[in-house]
Amino acid sequence: QVQVVESGGGLVQAGGSLRLSCAASGRTFSSYAMGWFRQAPGKEREFVADISWSGGSTYYSDSVKGRFTISRDGAKNTVWLQMNSLKPEDTAVYYCAAADVETYSDHPLTIDDYDYWGQGTQVTVSS
């Protein structure tokens, strides 16, 4: 069993930065792939980024590539999402999730691949 709790959301102006954290509990955290998703009002939840259990492989959506960075620290049971050059269209609730599968190098894991989800943290980017 893995529990995940997100933090770090808030209100920021366009062009600014935020760093989201995802604290995970459970002895097997280090064996799980981790991902970030987001959901804007009236829209479906969409993939943002994922990272392999080792941290050696990452994948990003085209909309955030070059602006966001996902990383993890197994010793701290934590995954981060560094978000730079934020845009108003990045406004959404951001969710962290854990998947007991390997990641892919050429496409992201899907929502259905994830076993455990956090409650989400709100990110609002003002123009």
The SS3 assignment for 92 reads strand
How many Cβ atoms from other residues are within 10 Å of residue 15's Cβ? 11
By mean pLDDT, which of 14-18, 75-79, 86-90 is the weakest?
75-79
The number of C-alpha atoms within 13 Å of 77 and in the hemisphere containing its C-beta is 12
By mean pLDDT, which of 72-76, 88-92, 102-106, 117-121 is the weakest?
102-106
Q: What pLDDT was estimated at residue 58?
A: 95
Q: What pLDDT was estimated at residue 107?
A: 84
pLDDT at 32 over 80: yes
pLDDT at 1 over 90: no
pLDDT at 29 over 80: no
